[in-house]
Chains A and B, each alone.
Chain A
């Protein structure tokens, strides 16, 4: 039973660039949530996708956007990268929004 997978593992970008991160949910799950984890901090909720729509959004600017595909996989896009966007980006999947969220290994983004 495959768990949550994310790609790429690491990414280095420069300020102003755009980045796309990808997530495949655990088998049987239909909901994907994205979190940003800065060094030494707890994860912060970015948004959640269900039925290909953004169902809830955290306190992040519009530069952060996402998408969910019919097969439940999801992408996180960040435009106009800032140095402060450097973080570990975690994807979590669940069966429905209120179910336990299971996390992937994360994508480490470094913005130079």
Chain B
């Protein structure tokens, strides 16, 4: 069985602060994929990143960075120098590949960045 836990329901920060969103996952598969999606108030899920289980390198994309640690089954997401436009619900998701095609999502973290 697959499970994704996002323990932080809501986070509120002031613009320019750094913020980290936590994601812990459970799977028995050795091959799997992890994702982060952003859902602004409009409702559309916007893809941010995909990571496979064999690649533990951290990734940086502009103000966004991701820390993947298999030892703790975590895939955390950090926004540096947050901006008001970063306000959204962020979802972590897991797919175990093979013949399992579904994404299993966490419950999401609502990030509010105040000016």
Contacts and interface: CB of A to CB of B under 8 A. Distances in A.
B107 A42 contact: yes
Contacts of B91: 42-43
Nearest to B50: A100
Interface in B27-56: 33, 35, 37, 42-47, 50
Contact of A103 (B33, B37, B98, B102): B37
B50 A108 contact: no
B44 A103 contact: yes
Contact of B100 (A31, A56, A92): A56
Interface residues of A, number: 26
A7 interface: no
Nearest to A107: B43
Interface string A70-112: 0000000000000000001010100001101111111010000
B43 A48 contact: no
Contact of B102 (A48, A88, A90, A100): A48
A42 B47 contact: no
Nearest to B102: A45
B105 A42 contact: yes
A106 B105 contact: no
Interface string B83-115: 000000001010101111111111110000000
A22 to B, nearest CB: 16
Interface of B: 4, 33, 35, 37, 42-47, 50, 91, 93, 95, 97-108
Interface of A: 31, 33, 35, 40-45, 48, 55-56, 58, 88, 90, 92, 97-98, 100-106, 108
Given A56-B99, A98-B97, A104-B44, 11 more contacts: A35-B103, A42-B93, A42-B105, A42-B108, A43-B105, A44-B105, A45-B103, A55-B101, A98-B33, A98-B101, A105-B44
